[in-house]
A and B are shown apart, each in its own frame.
Chain A
Amino acid sequence: MSDFFAPEFVRLVLALVAIMGFVAANGMALLYVERKVAGHVQRRPGPFEVGPHGLLQALADAGKLVGKQLATPRGADALLFWTAPLMAFMPVPLMFIAMPFSENLWGLGTDLGLVLILSFAGFNVLALCLAGWASNNKWSLLGAARAVAQAVAYEIPLLLSVLAVAMLTGSLDLREVAAHQGAWPWQWNVFVQPLAFFIYFVCAVAETNRAPFDLAEAESELTAGVHTEYSGMGNGIIFLAEYANMLVVSCVATVLFLGGAAGPWAPGPWWFLAKMYALVTLIIFMRWTYPRVRFDQLLNLNWRWLMPLALVNLVLTAFCVKLWGGA
């Protein structure tokens, strides 16, 4: 019973609540930013009518989504069907919990932060599988097959590129990886490991199912894949999870490659947020710039380019670390 109110426990609960708030607020904000960016890239205003400059549009959409009927397809396994969106979203707070937002701002101090994040990221694949299968519908099933093939494929080079950084630092603790880098940009890992950063970034975009790799859902061409049968908030949660995953991969990239919360002049969480949002904006911009790839192109890019490159990078890193001792 006394354990129940131990400071560590209270800290964890507080961290989880804060993270949920952060993720939800970000989901709203990014939805708005996404549409504004899309609008301005196409030289139109984006949402404009609800609230000043359409600021309340995301709220209105959320209200609409909540108000919609939740329909379960006939013959579908209702339990699994509704577990899938929850499973897509559930690991998100857990992935943030080990994230060092600054030198001493994190939810859970663990030596295995990186492993924690990567393993919980795998949940998403299971959620996609479940959503596709439980929808009792061949489009969803095919969509799930595509999504899983993509997620599994891109997970490998992603892990390899992250591993190179871990080798360089000699630690899987995100705090230590961040502390290992200096304040100035040329002291960041991205300068030692540009190839790993590039591979990580491409894989991260693919892992989050963002364009140009959004074949899993492509509403207009491929019947929305695993989302086909989800209505109202079921769909909303899957989308919220997508945005949250976008944040997670940007956070991880910030910690691993861009020096985390370190920055010149005034180190602190704002540097972390600035770097993270810069990456998120880049991902959003890419969606409105590049045409969607074909599925064979998607898999070719991974198996023929990213995989070998990541392997070569890893071997080279191991060699150099062995020669010069690394960290």
Chain B
Amino acid sequence: MGLVAAFSEALSGLKSMVVGLKVTGTNFLRPQETVHYPRQEVPRDALATFRGHIELVGTDDDPALARCVGCGLCMELCPSRCIRVEAEDPPPAEAPPSVAHTMSDLLMPTPKFRAAPPSQAPVARKLLGYHLTYHTCSLCGLCVQNCPAGSIRFSSNVYFAGEARETFELDLMARLRRQSGREGGKP
């Protein structure tokens, strides 16, 4: 590298250092982004993209009733096995015949919820309970993405803390009922 090139490179490097000081200087003078937690709280609109634990979404008619159709997909999909869906079994007359174990079935077991051949009429099972073991959830979002009824979303429960493990074992149906009662229909 010639001397002139070296010097011009050094000068542009120096200029970039001044620019760097300007960047930190302007940031220094800007207002803070953090909140002093116990005294202040995060503004609601800043939580739009926050991923809290999952929660159930109520139906349009009755916000206390989950949209969930009880298919169990979320329970099967969850890599951390932290969802437990309790749903009423369909009436025995409509119970699908058990599928014979084929060779491919042995190699790659079909999840239980897919074992039945898709029926034409959607069979909504009655949801009895929806439990989340939040302390094992990795917040991967698979359940949210794949729920066919659009019944799960991330909550904006930022200040969720506790001392006992049981604090994080949630009954989401009860939560949905509480929410709709408290917040006048809007979950």
Query: Given contacts A285-B25, A305-B10, is CB(A44)–CB(B33) below 8 Å?
Result: yes
- The reply on B102 being an interface residue by CB < 8 A is no
Are B33 and A288 in contact, with the CB atoms below 8 A?
no
Which of the residues A45, A285, A289, A290 comes within 8 Å of B36, measured between beta carbons? A45
Name the B residues within 8 Å of A2 (CB-CB): none
Query: Given contacts A37-B28, A42-B27, A43-B27, is CB(A289)–CB(B21) below 8 Å?
Result: yes
Total interface residues on B, CB under 8 Å, equals 15
Interface centre among B24, B27, B32, B33, by most chain A C-beta atoms within 10 angstroms, is B24
Q: Give Cα A42–Cα B25 distance, bound, in whole angstroms.
A: 10
Which of the residues A37, A41, A290, A305 comes within 8 Å of B17, measured between beta carbons? A290
**CB-CB contacts below 8 Å: A1-40 with B:** 37, 40
Are A43 and B34 in contact, with the CB atoms below 8 A?
yes
Are A285 and B21 in contact, with the CB atoms below 8 A?
yes
Closest residue of chain B to A288, judged by CB?
A: B24
Q: Give Cα A48–Cα B37 distance, bound, in whole angstroms.
A: 11
Interface size class of A (residues with CB under 8 A): 10 to 19
Closest residue of chain B to A286, judged by CB?
A: B21
**CB-CB contacts below 8 Å: B10-67 with A:** 10, 17, 20-21, 23-25, 27-28, 30-34, 36
Name the A residues within 8 Å of B31 (CB-CB): 43
Are A43 and B24 in contact, with the CB atoms below 8 A?
no
Closest residue of chain B to A198, judged by CB?
A: B14
Q: How far is the CB of B63 from chain A (nearest CB, A)?
A: 38
Q: How far is the CB of A306 from chain B (nearest CB, A)?
A: 11
Query: Given contacts A285-B24, A288-B24, A305-B10, is CB(A43)–CB(B33) below 8 Å?
Result: yes
Q: Give Cα A137–Cα B70 distance, bound, in whole angstroms.
A: 62
Q: How far is the CB of A309 from chain B (nearest CB, A)?
A: 10
A-B contact count (CB 8 A): 35
Q: How far is the CB of A80 from chain B (nearest CB, A)?
A: 39
Name the B residues within 8 Å of A41 (CB-CB): 24, 27-28
Q: Give Cα A286–Cα B21 distance, bound, in whole angstroms.
A: 7
Which of the residues B10, B17, B32, B36 comes within 8 Å of A43, measured between beta carbons? B32
Name the A residues within 8 Å of B25 (CB-CB): 285
Name the A residues within 8 Å of B17 (CB-CB): 289-290
Are A44 and B34 in contact, with the CB atoms below 8 A?
yes
Give 1 or 0 for each of A49-71: 1 = CB within 8 Å of chain B CB: 00000000000000000000000
**CB-CB contacts below 8 Å: A264-301 with B:** 285-286, 288-290
Name the B residues within 8 Å of A37 (CB-CB): 28
Give 1 or 0 for each of A106-138: 1 = CB within 8 Å of chain B CB: 000000000000000000000000000000000
Residues in B lying within 8 Å of A, measured CB to CB: 10, 17, 20-21, 23-25, 27-28, 30-34, 36
8 intermolecular pairs with C-beta atoms under 8 Å apart: A40-B27, A40-B28, A40-B32, A44-B33, A45-B36, A288-B24, A289-B17, A289-B23
